[in-house]
Amino acid sequence: MAAFPLSLVVGLLAGFFGAIPPGPLGVTCLRKALQGRRREAYRVAAGGSITDTFVCGLIGFGLGWILERLVTNVVVRTGLALFLLSYGAKLLLVDVRKDAAHGAALRRLPDFRLTPATSERTGPTELPEPGGIRPVLTGLLQGAANPALFVNWTILIGFLVGHRLLVPSAATAAGFALGVGLGVFLWFVVLIELGDRWRDRAGGWLGHATAAAGVLLVGFGAFFTWRSFVVR
One digit per residue, pLDDT tens: the chain, 232 residues? 577 888 899 999 999 999 988 888 898 998 888 888 899 999 999 999 999 999 999 888 887 666 666 666 777 777 878 888 888 888 888 877 776 665 555 455 454 444 444 444 444 445 555 567 899 999 998 888 877 788 788 888 888 888 787 888 888 889 999 999 999 999 999 999 998 888 766 555 555 777 888 888 888 888 877 776 665 5
Give the number of other Cβ atoms within 10 Å of residue 54's Cβ: 17
47: which residues sit within 8 A by CB, 6+ positions away?
Answer: 135, 136, 137, 138, 139, 140, 141, 142, 143
Domain span at 60: 3-230
pTM score of the predicted model: 0.75
Query: Which of the 8 DSSP states describes residue 128?
Result: P
Query: Domain total for the chain?
Result: 1
3-state secondary structure of 24: helix
**What phi and psi values does residue 116 have, to the nearest 5 degrees?**
-55, -40
Counting beta carbons within 10 angstroms of the beta carbon of residue 97, is it exposed (0 to 12), middle (13 to 18) or buried (19 or more)? exposed
Give the number of other Cβ atoms within 10 Å of residue 103's Cβ: 15
